[in-house]
Amino acid sequence: MDKIILDWEFLAEKLTTWQQMGYEVVFTNGCFDILHVGHIHYLAEAKSLGDRLVVGINGDDSVRRLKGADRPFNHQMDRAILMAALEMVDAVTIFDQDTPLELITHITPDLLVKGGDYTVDQIVGAEHVLSHGGEVRSLQFVEGYSTSKMADKIKCS
């Protein structure tokens, strides 16, 4: 797994190599705290749009700031290992900021995607990717699946 869970510097080098080889690199990000079917559909769709899929995962402190003191349920490295084990994912990295903007400007993917609960103008990093000739898309949201809903269901049982 170490080959695809990368620090930012090595990831930037990897993206440059892939892009020089003519591969289109797709980037997405999220907490991915409890991996569920909605995530799998979303990641498969993201991968289908390019040649390589890179996933940025919010670090534990970032998740706590965004989701509350009781989150994340799973440690950042556990989440990264699960993500790296997915066939459609080519590289994973962790970011500690509240948004992936700094990471996106560091790696400059060809295509930036987020789930359908975001419009293109709400997607962090869109301006940077577009200004470098890339594309930004909002992918279809899979109804009925969310980590927060799953957590509530577990708490109630």
Cα–Cα distances in angstroms (integers) from residue 78 to residues 34, 57, 140, in the given order: 10, 11, 26
Give the distance, in angstroms, between the CA of residue 64 and the centroid of all CA atoms in the same chain.
Answer: 17
CA 11/CA 25 separation, integer angstroms: 12
* Average pLDDT for runs of 10 along the chain of length 157: 82 96 98 92 96 98 95 96 96 97 98 88 96 95 59 56
Please report, for the domain that includes residue 67, its CATH number: 3.40.50.620
CA 88/CA 90 separation, integer angstroms: 7
Q: What pLDDT is recorded for position 99?
A: 96
Residue 149 domain flag = no
Residue 140 domain flag = no
Residue 85 domain flag = yes
* Domains held by the chain: number: 1
Q: What pLDDT is recorded for position 30?
A: 95
Cα–Cα distances in angstroms (integers) from residue 32 to residues 7, 12, 35, 38, 132, in the given order: 18, 22, 6, 11, 28
Look at the block and give the residue holding tokens 């402190």.
Answer: 61
Q: What pLDDT is recorded for position 47?
A: 98
Q: What pLDDT is recorded for position 153?
A: 53
Residue 2 domain flag = no
Give the distance, in angstroms, between the CA of residue 60 and the centroid of all CA atoms in the same chain.
Answer: 14
Structure tokens at 65: 């700031």
- Residue 71 belongs to domain spanning: 8-133
Residue 3 domain flag = no
